Amino acid sequence: MIENISLSFKGMLSHKIRSLLTMLGIIIGIASIIAIVSTIKGTNEQIKNNLIGSGNNTVNIQLFQGDWAMDFQYESAPSGVPAISRETKEKIENIDEVERVSLYRQRQYLDSIYYLNKQLAGGNVTGIDENYFDVMNYRIKLGKGFSENDFKNNQKTAVIDSIVAKNLFEGEEPIGKVIDICGEPFKVIGVAVKSNTFEPVIETVEDYHTYKSDASGKIFIPERSWPIAFKFDEPQNCIVKAVDTDAMTQAGKKAADILNNTLSVSEDINVKYKGESLLEQAKSMQDLSNSTNKMLVWIASISLLVGGIGVMNIMLVSVTERTREIGLKKALGARKKRILVQFLTEASVLTSIGGIIGVISGIILAQVISKFADVPVSISGVSIVISVVFSMAVGIIFGLIPSVKAANLNPIDALRYE
Amino acid sequence: MILDMNGIYKDYLLGKEPVPVLKDVNLQVDEGDYIAIMGPSGSGKSTLMNIIGCLDKQTAGSFIFDGMDISQCSDKELSDIRNRKIGFVFQNFNLLPRQSVLENVELPLLYAGVGKRERREMAKQALIKVGLEERINFKPTQLSGGQKQRVAIARAMINNPKMLLADEPTGALDTKSGEQIMKLFYELNSEGVTIVMITHEREIAEYARKIMLIRDGEISDCGGGAEQ
Ligand SMILES: Nc1ncnc2c1ncn2[C@@H]1O[C@H](COP(=O)(O)OP(=O)(O)O)[C@@H](O)[C@H]1O
Ligand SMILES: [Mg+2]
């Protein structure tokens, strides 16, 4: 076998240009498949990361009126929608798929936040419970977080994020300073940052607003201090952290069911809690990109097919050219099988090398695509192995007819061949 | 008796017309014989040789080689007979041009399943025997005609076959090289190898013990040779 392989190499090297041209179809086919598959994988990972937040696994459960999510910043809750009680929260916490629950209220783009005479441009205030930082992956960078006392006793304390710290205090030490939220004084006790940040992808207006409000900074106050600042106690938003990514849909559904049981609204106003399943959104987006890209893979496979036919053609030429050699080998006692294996080896060495070159060019191509088209790529080891094995198989399949032809040559006809 | 041919016929198809080339050939060869077959061009010498060498099959007649009925043999058995019991020498040498002299001589051992190191050693010995130990790493194209034919003989004899078949072995050589080849054949025959050689040169045929003549597809003993 090793002998056969080294013979195949010798043969290839003696017909360099011919071998290269023969491999070209395989190279192009494999290269485009690798490039496409890497792009698919990269895009899918990006979709998943961006929508779900890498490893965060949180699901927002929101109140919907019909198909629209309600926003209590602009409208008041219909009667029959109570604030979420401690018992309801515990029930949700007891769902198998749920790891932690946080309830919070939020006001966006406020222009009523001051430090001394300086106004924060477009701040964002969140009234949070003790789980919020954990669920949303915040950690305290400076000062301290809220204590039990802060949560229980309506303390007018605040934690700000680093953006607010920068915009409002401009390098001054923020800890211990008092800021003004809707006319009420709150004492800054800490600065929080997101443990893992990812670049958001802005594709819709909503994305833009989310991003913008994030970008203008956040101020956190304890849940119970919310009515002090806003003089109003609307139902909370509910966010659950699922035990893992795959549990997200179930966690969202079950939590929404529990919340819906607390509602006492009439049918016709059509208000309901729904888990906003980012996982499903991610999946449907992935499906979309998969199905378009699968078509590309088929097109690339045609190139492989054409490459395979090229290999078959050149192998047939090679068998004809080497008829005398085959005849001599048979005269010296080579069995059919040996001739067959020799030619099959030659074909598959040819296509395997084509495959390897194809993989390398595919990786380069993928990098180039990711540079110029701004598409993320992720090269998988599995696809590389499959590609090389597959091109070897192409060699064996398309080399079969020429090899059988060689093996079945009548020795005397082969020896007489001019 | 190593070779026993009775009533051998061979037709070639020219389109749909069968053209008879051998007509009722009877040939018996004993072990250790040295036979030269002569005849004009196109008389069927090579055709007969190819049948003897199990490269081609007769149209009719019985052919027993070393106790085996060749017409009953499978493709695999024929390969093994060609590999182990018969050595071929051709007029045009038939060496593989891209492989070295040593690799060419090794080929039959490879097909016999001999391991690499042993192959090397045996091929080297065979080349020493034909006086080419200096040339083992040469390519065939770097050799003279006589040297090429000696490589071919080393290759033919590498598996210690019972019989050496040579189709015009000196046809492409000058007289001096031809004589060297005949000397080698003589040595091999005196070691007990059966030789069947085709030639159309009387002087070459005279080296054999027995000379046969083919004319119009029929074979006859024409006397001459070293035994007379
Ligand atoms: N494969 C073949 N097909 C048809 N005719 C052939 C074939 N091989 C040989 N012949 C014919 O058979 C005759 C004998 O050929 P051959 O045995 O080669 O003669 P020799 O070797 O005595 O010169 C010639 O007339 C030749 O044309
Ligand atoms: Mg002839």
Q: Residue A100 pLDDT more than 50?
A: yes
Instruction: Give the tens place of pLDDT for each residue, A249-267.
Output: 888 889 999 999 998 887 7
CA dist A255 and A97 (Å) reads 10
Tokens of B178: 């031809």
CB contact under 8 A, B94 and A328: yes
Which residue, judged by its Cα, is nearest atom 27 of ligand 1? B42
Closest CA–CA distance from residue A314 to any residue of chain B (Å): 19
Is residue B68 in a domain? yes
Chain A residues within 8 A of B154 when measuring between CB atoms: none
Is residue B150 over pLDDT 90?
yes
The pLDDT-based confidence of A246 (bands split at 50, 70, 90) is confident
Whether B201 shows a pLDDT value over 70: the answer reads yes
Rounded average pLDDT over B169-176:
91
Calpha distance B108→B164 (Å, rounded)? 14
Which among B14, B17, B21 is the best mutation to test ligand 1's pocket, defined by most ligand atoms within 8 Å of the CB? B21
Residues with Cβ within 6 A of ligand 1? B 12, 14, 21, 39, 41-47
What was the pLDDT predicted at A50? 67
Looking at the CA of residue B48, tell me the nearest atom of ligand 1. Answer: 17
Chain B residue closest in CA terms to A333: B83
Are A328 and B53 within 8 A, CB to CB? Answer: no
- The reply to whether B52 falls in a domain is yes
> To test ligand 1's pocket by mutation, which of B8, B10, B11, B12 has the most ligand atoms within 8 angstroms of CB?
B12
CA distance A275 to A255: 7
User: Measuring from atom 6 of ligand 1, which residue has the nearest CA?
Assistant: B12
CA dist., res. A342 & res. B83, Å (int)? 18
Instruction: Give the model's confidence band at A197: pLDDT under 50 very low, under 70 low, under 90 confident, else very high.
Output: low
pLDDT at A279: 63
Residue-wise pLDDT tens digits, A22-42: 889 899 989 988 888 888 888
Distance CA A405, CA A319 (A): 8
Distance CA A46, CA A69 (A): 26
| Residue A232 clears pLDDT 80, i.e. is over it | no
Residue A182 CA, ligand 2 centroid: distance in Å: 114
CA angle A51, A82, A84 (to 5 degrees): 50
Q: Identify the CATH number of the domain in which residue B68 sits.
A: 3.40.50.300
User: Rounded to the nearest 5 degrees, what angle is found at the Cα of B106, between the Cα atoms of A3 and B156?
Assistant: 145
From A212-216, A296-300, B21-25, the region with the lowest mean pLDDT: A212-216
Report how many domains make up chain B. 1
User: Which residue bears the tokens 């802005």?
Assistant: A202
User: What distance lies between CA A375 and its chain's CA centroid?
Assistant: 12
From the CA of B219, which ligand is nearest? 1
Minimal CA–CA distance to B90: which of B168, B143, B183? B168
Closest atom of ligand 1 relative to the B39 alpha carbon: 22
Copy the structure tokens of residue B2.
């190593």
Closest atom, ligand 1, to C-alpha of A416: 1
Nearest ligand to residue A418 Cα: 1
> SS3 helix, strand, coil % of chain B, rounded to 5?
40, 25, 35
Measured between CB atoms, which of B50, B94, B112 is closest to A333?
A: B112
DSSP state of A220: E
DSSP state of A146: -
pLDDT in tens, A55-75: 567 888 888 888 787 877 777
Atom of ligand 1 nearest to the CA of A413: 1
The pLDDT assigned to A54 comes to: 46
**Closest by Cβ to B111, choosing from A325, A332, A415:** A332
A218 pLDDT more than 50: yes
ipTM: 0.93
A196 or A93: whose pLDDT is higher? A93
Pick from B46, B78, B94, B98 the residue to mutate for testing the A interface (most A CBs within 10 Å).
Answer: B94
On whether any CB of chain B is under 8 Å from the CB of A10, the answer is yes
Cα A365 from chain centre: 21
B46, B196, B219: which to mutate for ligand 1, most atoms within 8 A of CB? B46
Is B88 an 8 Å CB contact of chain A? yes
Q: Rounded distance, CA A53 to CA A335, Å?
A: 63
pLDDT value at residue B222: 77
Q: What is the pLDDT of residues A286-330, one digit of tens each?
A: 777 777 777 877 887 888 888 899 999 999 999 999 999 999 999
pLDDT of residue A204: 55
Does position A418 have pLDDT exceeding 70, yes or no?
Answer: no
Residues B75, A338: C-beta atoms closer than 8 Å: no
Q: Which residues contact B162 (CB under 8 A, 6 or more apart)?
A: B2, B31, B66, B85, B86, B193, B194
Nearest residue on chain A to B110, alpha-carbon basis: A334
| pLDDT tens, position by position, A155-192 | 899 999 988 888 888 888 999 999 999 889 999 999 99
Q: Provide the pLDDT for residue B163.
A: 96
CA A196 to chain centre: 15
Element (H, E) at A246: none
Assign B21 to helix, strand or coil.
strand
| Residue minimizing CA distance to atom 2 of ligand 1 | B12
Give CA angle at B15 (B11, B16), nearest 5°: 70
Question: If you compute the radius of gyration of chain B from its CA atoms, what whole number of angstroms results?
Answer: 17
Are B82 and A332 within 8 A, CB to CB?
A: yes
In a domain, B91, yes or no: yes
Q: What is the mean pLDDT of chain B?
A: 92
In a domain, B11, yes or no: yes
**How far apart are the CA of A22 and the nearest CA of chain B, in angstroms?**
21
Q: Are B209 and B49 in contact (CB under 8 A)?
A: no
- pTM equals 0.69
Distance, CA B17 to ligand 1 centroid (Å)? 14
Size of interface A-B (CB pairs under 8 A): 56
Residue B202 structural domain: 3-223
Q: What is the pLDDT of residues B58-106, one digit of tens each?
A: 999 999 999 999 999 999 999 999 999 999 999 999 999 989 999 999 9
Measured distance between the N- and C-terminal CA atoms of chain B, rounded to whole angstroms: 21
Smallest Cβ–Cβ distance between A331 and the set B55, B75, B159 belongs to B55
A412 has a chain B CB within 8 A of its CB: yes
Within a domain: B228: no
With a cut of 60, say whether residue A119 has pLDDT above it.
Answer: yes
B112: which chain A residues are within 8 Å (Cβ-Cβ)?
Answer: 333
Q: Cβ A10–B112 below 8 Å, yes or no?
A: no
